[in-house]
Amino acid sequence: MRKTYAIIIGAGQAGLAMSYCLGALGIDHVVLERGNVAERWRSERWDSLRLLTPNWMNRLPGSWYQGLDPDGFMTSVEFASFLERYARESAAPVIAKAEVRTVRRGPAGYRVETRSGAWHARCVVIATGHCDLPSIPEFARSLPPSICQLTPTTYRNPGELPHGGVLVVGASASGVQLAEEIQNSGRQVTISVGRHLRMPRLYRGRDIMSWFDRHFELNGDVANAEELEAARAQPSPQLIGRPKRINLDLGVLRELGIRLLGRMSGVDGGNMRLKDDLRSSIAESQARMERLLQRFDILADAADAPAEAWPAPFAVEAAPASFNLADNQVSTVLWATGFRRNYAWLRVPVVDARGEIIHTSGVTPAPGLYVTGLRFLRRRDASFIAAVAGDALAVATQIQRHLNANPSVAA
């Protein structure tokens, strides 16, 4: 059995940031990755995907964007290459093709079984990320077998879809982007709308993310559990990363000819049951956006940014109570309904009834077991990729304290 002081599970941005911070503290560790560095960015993203954050914002500990297009948006492949370069330059001790099968308590630490052998470590950091497995409603099993079902991790491009219309379920960032792309390919798209957050790409002369970054730099201190829980429950904003900064919301989709429906509540064969909540969902989204822009206005006024009206609300017609797939010639349902975490391999009692790891700022109730890479881990900070830097440093400090308070050999 191989031994080390700390094991990081996952070599995405969170795991590599964690490795950098542990290395800076002189803590011996390894990073176990089921595939290769940035595996999900290469194998579980659609072809046209770009990050929602501009390049200048995608900073990691000891590294920041130094290219010629700071206001551009990396593709998923470009970001994977960025992470690979970061891993090389930081000499991250990544062990590829080492899928973790179980993590159990062991003597003076944890026993980690992988596809390539067993490890013992005094500390384990779970950095498998927020976007682990697509969260698909149970009633999806009741769809006719003739319907092709996809998620944002299995969809690649419109050319690979079967002939016919497409129903996109979910109207946050992924849902609206995929709906627009598929509609522009010449297919008829319908979108089922649940909770979402309307958001302009540009606001008062700046990319909206610059206001996010500035707001949370000033107000993103460590938050209490209630605030973090509320933040984690928020949907991702309706944004798309493009060199030409355009807005993408339900009003734009409707102008493209996309049909809007309420939230899906069940399936009877090929008939989708829908809630009568389209108008209320759009109104709630508008209100959430206006509350956020009101905060940004304070920053913009202080910076003498040009005045700008909030995006105006738009009206929609009443949505039907059901939607028949065959009658509307729909052959594909794309579930853009968010993600869930999969900790089936974690044999330590730190997972709650919802399947989420119990933690406070990344520290679980099990001594020496930590988590990072989750949205709003410890701060009211929505800077996405950049947020992992502060989280990694905070968790690395906790690991150092744990090791210092419990001195022993790695065994």
pLDDT digits (tens, 9 = 90+) for 396-409: 999 999 999 987 65
Instruction: Kindly state the average pLDDT of the residues 263-275.
Output: 95
CA–CA–CA angle 30, 78, 23 (5° rounding): 25
**For position 244, what pLDDT does the model report?**
83
Measured CA to CA, the distance from residue 90 to residue 391 in angstroms comes to 18
pLDDT digits (tens, 9 = 90+) for 18-69: 999 999 999 999 999 999 999 999 999 999 999 999 999 999 999 988 889 9
Q: pLDDT averaged over the chain?
A: 93
Q: Which of 264, 261, 263 is nearest to 253 (CA)?
A: 261
Name, in order, each residue with C-beta under 8 angstroms of 357's C-beta and a sequence gap of 6 or more.
Answer: 126, 341, 343, 346, 350, 351, 364, 371, 374
Measured CA to CA, the distance from residue 213 to residue 3 in angstroms comes to 40
**For position 157, what pLDDT does the model report?**
98
CA 153 to chain CA centroid, Å, is 12
Name, in order, each residue with C-beta under 8 angstroms of 204's C-beta and a sequence gap of 6 or more.
Answer: 211, 296, 297, 300, 305, 306, 307, 308
Taking the CB of residue 268, how many other CB atoms lie within 10 A of it? 11
* C-alpha pair distances (Å), 381 with each of 76, 244, 305, 306, 323: 22, 26, 23, 25, 38
**For position 411, what pLDDT does the model report?**
44
> In the structure encoding, which two tokens stand for residue 165, read together?
């219309």
**For position 382, what pLDDT does the model report?**
47
Q: Which of 125, 141, 151, 139 is nearest to 11 (CA)?
A: 125
pLDDT at 222 over 70: no
Decide: 133 and 343 in contact? Cβ < 8 Å: no
Compute the radius of gyration of the chain from its Cα atoms: 22
**For position 343, what pLDDT does the model report?**
97
Measured CA to CA, the distance from residue 383 to residue 380 in angstroms comes to 9
Q: Could you tell me the domains of the chain?
A: 2-132+341-405 (3.50.50.60), 135-335 (no CATH)
Instruction: Kindly state the average pLDDT of the residues 363-367.
Output: 97
pLDDT digits (tens, 9 = 90+) for 288-347: 999 999 999 999 999 999 999 999 999 898 899 999 999 999 999 999 999 999 999 999
**For position 223, what pLDDT does the model report?**
57
pLDDT digits (tens, 9 = 90+) for 79-126: 999 999 999 999 999 999 999 999 999 989 999 999 999 999 999 999
Taking the CB of residue 252, how many other CB atoms lie within 10 A of it? 17
Instruction: Kindly state the average pLDDT of the residues 238-245.
Output: 90
Instruction: Kindly state the average pLDDT of the residues 177-187.
Output: 98
* C-alpha pair distances (Å), 269 with each of 140, 229, 259, 262: 10, 36, 21, 18
**For position 218, what pLDDT does the model report?**
53
